[in-house]
Amino acid sequence: MEKKINAGTKTQTEKKVLIIVFALNFAFFAIELATGLISNSLGLITDSADMFADALIYGLSLFALGKAFARKKRIAFTQCGLQTVLIAFVGFEIVRRFIFETPLPDYKFMIIVSAFAFIANLTSLLLLRKLNSNDTNIKASEICSRVDCGVNLGVIVGGILVLIFESKLPDLIISSLIFVWAARELIEMYMTASRGEVGCGCNAHEHPEVHV
């Protein structure tokens, strides 16, 4: 009886942490998308797409708890469809900005917003690690948060290089790298969706099966 109570308490704690992580990811998806459009930074816009993917993973995983297999599959494909639209837009913008002349990104937005996003992702990572959970979804979420911290640092470096060289190329290069990662993540999301799972592409190799 005591073990059941402890297990229930642990599950509730994990759920609360996932809700916080979801809220942070969704908030910074909106912030990075808005500031990316304002500052003409494709690095911020591309990173917002990655944050959106993670927010979907956390949010839909929570929503799918206890749902039937068929509903889980529909939820997973909805997640993939939304992410596909955003990734397609980012890919189009990368090609367009490489070909045509576009304004120089505002490096200040790139550095400052990415610094705050880094703090948010680091907070998420520390909260998830504090759980010390063996749950596959929690482990996958840790991997996603760790990768996101690296992406944020990449955009910060891109902003510094834009300042130094007064060129849009650093922003486009970091955007392209994030795009490749996000596209890979999307493919893994489609693969897990076809199995009726709601999972994280970040953990494709470390945790091949992510069940809800």
CA distance 205 to 152: 22
Give Cα 93 to chain centroid, integer Å: 19
Q: What is the pLDDT of residue 141?
A: 78
CA distance 46 to 43: 5
C-beta separation of 72 from 212 below 8 A: yes
C-beta separation of 167 from 45 below 8 A: no
Other beta carbons less than 10 A from residue 119's beta carbon: 14
Whose tokens are 């948010």? That residue is 120
pLDDT truncated to tens, each residue of the chain (212 aa)? 544 445 556 678 888 888 999 999 999 999 999 999 999 999 999 999 889 888 877 777 676 555 555 666 676 777 778 888 888 999 999 999 999 999 999 999 999 999 999 999 999 999 989 988 776 667 777 888 888 999 999 999 999 999 999 999 999 999 999 999 888 878 877 777 676 555 555 654 444 343 43
Q: What is the pLDDT of residue 133?
A: 78
Q: Where are the alpha helices (DSSP H) in the chain?
A: 2-39, 42-64, 69-99, 107-131, 136-165, 169-194
List the domain boundaries for the chain.
2-202
Q: What is the pLDDT of residue 69?
A: 57
Q: What is the pLDDT of residue 136?
A: 65
Q: What is the pLDDT of residue 64?
A: 59
Neighbour-count burial of 209, counting CB atoms closer than 10 A to its CB (0-12 exposed, 13-18 middle, 19+ buried): exposed
pLDDT in tens, 3-57: 444 555 667 888 888 899 999 999 999 999 999 999 999 999 999 988 988 887 7
Measured CA to CA in angstroms, residue 135 lies from 90, 140, 196 at distances of 33, 9, 18
Q: What is the pLDDT of residue 20?
A: 93
Mean pLDDT of the chain: 83
